[in-house]
Amino acid sequence: MKNAFQIVIIGGGTAGIMTAAQLLKANSKLDIAIVDPSDMHYYQPAWTLVGAGDFKLSKTARSMASVMPNGVKWIKDKATAIHAEENKVDTAENGSLTYDFLVVAPGLVMAPELIPGLKESLGKGVVCSNYTDPEHTWEVLRNFKGGNAIFTQPTTPIKCGGAPQKIAYLAADYLRKKGLLDKSEVVFATPGSVIFGVPEIRRTLMHVIDRYGIHFKPFYAPESIDHENRVITFKSVHPEENQCVVNEGNTIGEEMHGDMTIKMPYDMLHIAPPQQAPQFVRESDLVNAAGWLDVDINSLQHKKYSNVFGLGDVAALPTAKTGAAIRKQVPVVVGNLLSLINNQAANDSSYKGYSSCPLVTGYGKMTLAEFDYEGNFTPDPKLKQMLIKDSSREHWRLYMLKKYGLPYLYWNKMLKGQKV
């Protein structure tokens, strides 16, 4: 088997496929290999709707072979190590691959073992996650008859940071429709200080929380899960001591233990597992102190190795890890790679941290958060063509965009190398 390539791309997810497709559109003669062991490629943004019974999981999946760009050599294997000094990538079954240029885009991996009790309980009984099995989330929600429905997320970075609250809103709306909301205590607990960092979006979401009567618990970091007794333990991460106070009335049965620990019973628990870069990335010399790919935040070029680029969820970028972010990152990486191939400087530093989070707030309701590194609200002017004057407010047209428009653009435009 050939083992030397002009460009090696690690990862056949959104970032890897889009990068290869756009490179080949620019120059069909490029010699590109994609390393990925997966049989299937998933459109994961729709898993939020799958977990609420409003989308079929089967419609989010296509074979990897069907999305692989023509002209790419697909090496169906796992990357196991990166030796950047030698321009070499080790694989599990196909030996070592050498490259002139490397694109690192393997995404991230779930690490439930970082929260004691989560690995043993996740996907069993009433502990569910759209990140791992959205159909199980829907099963748990359908079977829920009242009590504490807790939605939470870890202290690590996660893909689509808004997803844990989206399913909380959908679940609350589902319980309202079924006449169960009055018998339920819906809790959204987060290590963060606010419901969302963009002020325009935050205002809307606080109204949504009030509408459903959701208990919003900031500075709550999940610490452990007692699956047998259905109790989750949180640690207060408030910057000041003694600031984590159980609400008066305590309808959710919280218990304080000391100044920092809170125990909360659950009848349904949805959790985003802790997430981290894949082991072969963490063990390379390409990462920062936190274990994420150490690239320039504007050019996506590695800070030490000029022939290495990184994008997508594995990159150390201070913005949300979303497909929308990748959509803006790919053209920058492609432009810089083509410049280097043509013996020119990689001087495109135009990525300013754009990301977006389609925040579903109920069935048929959504607000669209678009923002940059500075937290500025940056709505796409094209939304006015959809008669949406203010995308920071809930709108049914935005929900239709989420359910129908974005999947179409993903499969038929983005993965085909078209800039959208």
Judge whether 261 and 255 are in contact, CB under 8 Å: no
Domain boundaries of the chain, sorted by first residue: 4-108+277-353, 112-274
The fold adopted by the segment(s) 112-274 is FAD/NAD(P)-binding domain (3.50.50)
| Amino acid letter, residue 54 | D
CA dihedral 357, 362, 365, 367 (to 10 degrees): -30
Distance CA(245)–CA(20), nearest Å, equals 51
Place of tokens 């050599």: 73
**pLDDT, tens digit, 9 for 90 and up, residues 232-277:** 999 999 887 656 556 556 899 999 888 889 999 999 999 999 999 9
Query: Residue type for 322, please?
Result: T
> Which pair of structure tokens corresponds to residue 64?
């990897």
DSSP-derived letter for residue 195 is: S
Give the residue among 255, 259, 192 at the shortest CA–CA distance from 219: 192
Residue linked to tokens 């290590």 = 191
Going by DSSP bridges, is the β-strand pair 147-152/275-276 parallel, antiparallel, or unpaired? unpaired
Two tokens, residue 195: 């419901």
CA distances from 310 to 10, 72, 267, 276, 391 (A): 10, 19, 41, 15, 30
Decide: 100 and 6 in contact? Cβ < 8 Å: yes
Q: Where are the beta strands (DSSP E) in 159-288?
A: 184-189, 215-217, 220-226, 231-236, 255-257, 261-265, 268-271, 275-276
CATH superfamily for 4-108+277-353 is FAD/NAD(P)-binding domain (3.50.50.60)
* pLDDT for the residue 56: 98
Residues acting as catalytic residues: 160, 357
CA distances from 396 to 343, 360, 361, 402 (A): 49, 10, 10, 10
Give the Cα separation of 18 and 16 in Å (integer): 6
Q: Do the domains spanning 4-108+277-353 and 112-274 agree at the CATH topology level? A: yes
Element counts in the chain: helices (H) and strands (E): 11, 22
Residue numbers of the chain with a pLDDT score lower than 50:
none
| Cβ atoms of residues 19 and 9 within 8 Å | yes
Element (H, E) at 163: helix 163-177
**pLDDT, tens only, 380-411:** 988 878 888 999 999 999 999 999 999 999 99
